[in-house]
Amino acid sequence: MGSPTPPRGTHDRNEHPTCKPVELIRWLHRLVVPRGGVILDPFAGSGTGGVAAALDGLRWIGIERNPDYCTIARWRIAQVAPLFAAPAVTP
């Protein structure tokens, strides 16, 4: 479940350098992902795609090499889909 205190970069503004609006990503998902589909996001960043997928009931696989962004993404997704918050997978 999500932490009550957001990690750095998630509160007032997202510090990821290419953060996109969630509504834009939701619109893009609706254009190309079939209902109930799976999204593979190889550059997950701060998790905007995961947030959008959770809001639209889509499955999402996010890949991100920066552990700080992974922490932010997990927290953001847990805020909209706490039942689906998964523990970190480490190599």
Query: SS3 for 87?
Result: coil
30-36 long-range contacts, Cβ below 8 Å, gap at least 24?
30/56, 33/58
pLDDT over 80 (residue 8): no
Q: State the angle between helix axes of 48-56 and 22-32 in degrees (0 to 180), rounded to the nearest 10.
A: 60
Query: Predicted confidence band at 7 (pLDDT cuts at 50, 70, 90)?
Result: low
Give the tens place of pLDDT for each residue, 11-60.
455 677 778 899 999 999 999 999 999 999 999 999 999 999 999 999 99
CA 82 to chain centre: 12
pLDDT over 90 (residue 88): no
Query: Predicted confidence band at 4 (pLDDT cuts at 50, 70, 90)?
Result: low
